[in-house]
């Protein structure tokens, strides 16, 4: 079953390639959606895909890339969106 989840990563997640790590992992897990930096030093986004894929993807985001330090990953379910073809990094 397809699901969509909003996520918000807290910790050292800006300036450590977290968004590009997120995009790479999304591609590996066949996830569509987006992510971007927030004004408050966090990274937010939405991820959509098969339930198991989204679960695995979020586990990867909870760890983050080598130089990141994720202290918390908030998640909220969202409405599934049609017509999304890829995962993008927004500015």
Give the separation between CA 58 and CA 54, rounded to whole angstroms: 6
Is the separation of the CB atoms in 85 and 68 below 8 Å?
no
Question: Which residue bears the tokens 């985001």?
Answer: 61
Is 19 annotated in the active site? Answer: yes
Is 4 annotated in the active site? Answer: no
Task: Tell me which of 4, 30, 36, 37 is the catalytic residue.
Answer: 37
Question: Which residue bears the tokens 């098969």?
Answer: 50
Is the separation of the CB atoms in 10 and 72 below 8 Å?
yes
Angle subtended by helix axes 18-28 and 51-63, to nearest 10: 150
Task: Tell me which of 4, 19, 30, 72 is the catalytic residue.
Answer: 19
**Catalytic sites, residue numbers:** 19, 37
């Amino acid at each position: 079953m397809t699901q969509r989840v909003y996520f918000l990563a807290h910790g050292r997640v800006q300036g450590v390639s977290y968004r590009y790590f997120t995009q790479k992992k999304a591609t590996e897990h066949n996830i569509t959606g987006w992510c971007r930096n927030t004004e408050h030093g966090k990274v937010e986004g939405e991820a959509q895909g098969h339930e198991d894929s989204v679960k695995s993807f979020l586990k990867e985001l909870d760890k983050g890339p080598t130089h990141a330090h994720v202290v918390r990953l908030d998640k909220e379910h969202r409405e599934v969106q049609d017509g999304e073809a890829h995962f993008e990094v927004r500015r």
